[in-house]
């Protein structure tokens, strides 16, 4: 694969220099920029194609977690992944919630850095594979610290539960992932899946009955939200014979 374009963000000059040096030592990484503030970095993220961000958390003006939240609001397949570099371990849960790839505690050595960087490499390669798998009717879903391959034909519906999604399958019990419905909606082919309300996406092929305001999948009735009814009405008309 081509090199991952990455940036380093840290308000401590020595820490920033160390990360940049580690990036230079890693064959599959290429340093596209180094910044002493998250605000400077944000401008570059919007103007360049960046795959990976090595970023401190505790910084003035805008901290690393806040920048990650900004990126989540505009989440897409091309959004850069984040590896946090911090001296504080109490941000670990928050970093997981903003979908960080890894969390390096300072001081860290090159071996630890490389282990985190390899996660980014694996993620990039998996994303390429995932794009191909969509054509082959499958998708990868993150479950805790691993990625599970799920056949699209096995999905009945996907339910949003606070910060998680619950994927209900025809072949086994549901699986839980720290993810958003918006993110899943972007990944799934529109010809096979439809968002029906704020908390549910359904597989069109698994619908067993339909009314003007709801669909049924086996014994489960899923209502259509007010803001989704216009799109759903077209689908409903196609059912009528």
CATH number (domain holding residue 37): 3.40.50.2300
Contacts of 226-233 with C-beta under 8 Å, sequence gap 24+, read 228/195, 228/196, 228/197, 231/194, 232/194, 232/196
For tokens 């050595």, what's the residue?
109
For tokens 């282990």, what's the residue?
115
| In a shared domain, residues 12 and 109 | yes
DSSP-derived 3-state class of residue 15 = helix
Mean pLDDT by 10 residues, the chain (241 residues): 89 96 96 94 87 93 89 70 88 76 92 93 73 65 84 92 91 87 84 90 90 89 89 70 49
Q: What is the pLDDT of residue 47?
A: 84
Question: DSSP state, 80?
Answer: P
Q: What is the pLDDT of residue 114?
A: 95
| In a shared domain, residues 40 and 111 | yes
| In a shared domain, residues 9 and 76 | yes
Q: What is the pLDDT of residue 25?
A: 96
Give all strands (DSSP E) within the chain, no chain letters: 4-9, 29-35, 52-55, 81-86, 102-105, 138-143, 146-151, 155-161, 164-169, 175-177, 193-197, 200-203, 209-210, 214-217, 220-223
| In a shared domain, residues 9 and 48 | yes
| In a shared domain, residues 108 and 167 | no
Count Cβ atoms below 10 Å from residue 8 Cβ, excluding itself.
27
| In a shared domain, residues 118 and 43 | yes
| In a shared domain, residues 129 and 149 | no
Q: What is the pLDDT of residue 10?
A: 96
Domain count, the chain: 2
Last residue of a domain, one of 77, 102, 133: 133
**Length of the chain (residues):** 241
Count Cβ atoms below 10 Å from residue 2 Cβ, excluding itself.
8
DSSP-derived 3-state class of residue 157 = strand
| In a shared domain, residues 111 and 26 | yes
| In a shared domain, residues 63 and 143 | no
Are 114 and 26 contacting, i.e. CB atoms less than 8 angstroms apart?
A: yes
Q: What is the pLDDT of residue 129?
A: 59
CATH number of the domain that residue 209 is part of = 2.40.50.1020
Q: Computed from CA positions of residues 120, 121, 123, 127, in that sequence, does the dihedral angle turn out positive or negative?
A: positive
Last residue of a domain, one of 72, 106, 133: 133
Structural domain including 105 reads: 4-133
Chain centre to alpha carbon of residue 241: 40
Are 36 and 13 contacting, i.e. CB atoms less than 8 angstroms apart?
A: yes
Q: Computed from CA positions of residues 125, 127, 130, 132, in that sequence, does the dihedral angle turn out positive or negative?
A: negative
Among 66, 101, 110, 104, smallest CA distance to 88 is for 104
Last residue of a domain, one of 133, 153, 177: 133
| In a shared domain, residues 223 and 186 | yes
| In a shared domain, residues 128 and 142 | no
| In a shared domain, residues 127 and 190 | no
């Amino acid at each position: 694969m081509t090199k991952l374009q990455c940036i380093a963000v840290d308000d401590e000059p020595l820490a920033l220099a160390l990360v940049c040096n580690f990036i230079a030592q890693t064959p599959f990484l290429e340093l596209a920029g180094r910044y002493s503030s998250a605000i400077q970095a944000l401008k570059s993220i919007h103007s360049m194609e960046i795959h990976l961000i090595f970023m401190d958390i505790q910084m003035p003006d805008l901290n690393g977690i806040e920048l990650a939240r900004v990126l989540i609001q505009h989440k897409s397949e091309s959004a850069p992944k984040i590896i946090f570099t911090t001296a504080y371990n109490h941000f670990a849960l928050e970093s997981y919630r903003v979908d960080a790839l890894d969390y390096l505690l300072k001081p860290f050595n090159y071996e630890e850095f490389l282990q985190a960087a390899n996660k980014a490499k694996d993620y990039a390669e998996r994303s390429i594979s995932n794009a191909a798998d969509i054509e082959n009717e499958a998708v990868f879903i993150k479950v805790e610290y691993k990625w599970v391959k799920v056949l699209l034909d096995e999905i009945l519906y996907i339910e949003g539960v606070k910060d998680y999604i619950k994927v209900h399958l025809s072949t086994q019990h549901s699986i839980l992932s720290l993810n958003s419905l918006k993110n899943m909606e972007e990944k799934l082919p529109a010809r096979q899946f439809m968002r029906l309300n704020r908390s549910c996406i359904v597989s069109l092929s698994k619908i067993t009955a339909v009314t003007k305001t709801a669909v049924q999948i086996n014994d489960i009735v899923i209502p259509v939200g007010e803001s989704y009814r216009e799109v759903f009405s077209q689908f409903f008309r196609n059912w009528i014979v």
